[in-house]
Homo-oligomer: A and B are copies of this chain.
Amino acid sequence: MSNLNSTQAIGVFDSGLGGISVVRALIDLLPHEHLIYFGDTARVPYGSKSKETVIRFAHQISSFLLEKQVKMIVVACNTASSVALESLQQKFDIPIVGMIDPGSQAAVRTSHNQRIGVIGTDSTIRSGAYRSAIRALNPDIQVMDQSCPLLVPLVEEDWPHDQVVQQVLQSYLKIFENDKPGSLILGCTHYPYLKSAIQEVIGNEVCLVDSGEAAAAEVQTVLADRGLLNPETGDPGRHKFFVSDFPQKFEETASRFLGLPLENLFKVELEVLESYK
């Protein structure tokens, strides 16, 4: 790890486009950091793949990012974070941050009533990853979780904030109605785009935890601890985006997620990606 230096980029990867919300959080918090994003758009979704497959994909992408000389890696994918983080940390000799621990820590910190809610995709909720992480931090906390499969397609389709979104959220969040948690983890990188609608339905007394923002704060801490924060003296950070395929509406959706036009976009052929170990 001794060869790392502060001007190197941070690598960020996800199974697809959702992780761009984490890039957004990193740009907001650390505008001087260079970022290299990898979205595995050819092999999305990871949630329905076996643990072994997700670990293999995560290793390939991390090796690819390492070759691009990143100083740390953010696993901006809840599925890969829950199944592959430990294996990545064992293999690669740079700091690697996932989504589960930072989100869980922020939720424990902000809940005032020993109750935490978690929403995510079917795969994330079934993995129990947030539940275990929260229990490890404080076994007395009651965790209530709920999978919300319709939210990703609603975000990807840019469905307007209307009655449909409100009714879908009311249906999913009903389990929290009588026993409101102090904090609610948005355990999917797509959900920050629904933050205001979620807040409206669950009520202002519940603190929403954006796991991407929590991960960005963790990145800042880790880099500061190691003296690896890029000095805020030069130009703003540069951002590069790599994907394994260009799905339909890709650029439209990606730049909407980023809130910026998507420049420096490159495709990596699957054969090339699969040659990494």
Contacts and interface: CB of A to CB of B under 8 A. Distances in A.
Interface of A: 41-42, 44, 47-50, 122-123, 126, 149-150, 152-154, 156-157, 159, 162-164, 167-168, 171, 245, 247-249
Contacts of A248: 47-48, 122-123, 126
Contacts of A41: 48
Contacts of A152: 153
Contacts of A164: 164, 167-168, 171
B163 A167 contact: yes
A103 to B, nearest CB: 21
Contacts of A50: 245
A157 to B, nearest CB: 5
A193 to B, nearest CB: 15
Counting from the closest, the 9 A-B pairs by CB-CB distance are A48-B247, A153-B153, A164-B167, A149-B157, A150-B153, A122-B248, A164-B164, A164-B168, A149-B153
Contact of A49 (B123, B163, B245): B245
A220 to B, nearest CB: 34
A122 B249 contact: yes
A44 B163 CA distance: 30
Nearest to A153: B153
A171 B49 CA distance: 33
18 contacts: A41-B48, A42-B48, A47-B248, A48-B247, A48-B248, A49-B245, A122-B248, A126-B248, A149-B153, A149-B157, A150-B150, A150-B154, A150-B157, A152-B153, A163-B167, A164-B164, A164-B168, A164-B171
A167 B167 CA distance: 10
A270 to B, nearest CB: 9
A166 to B, nearest CB: 10
Contacts of A162: 167
A131 to B, nearest CB: 16
A262 B174 CA distance: 32
A164 B172 CA distance: 13
A9 to B, nearest CB: 27
A104 to B, nearest CB: 22
Contacts of A167: 162-164, 167
Contacts of A156: 149
A164 B148 CA distance: 14
A245 B49 CA distance: 8
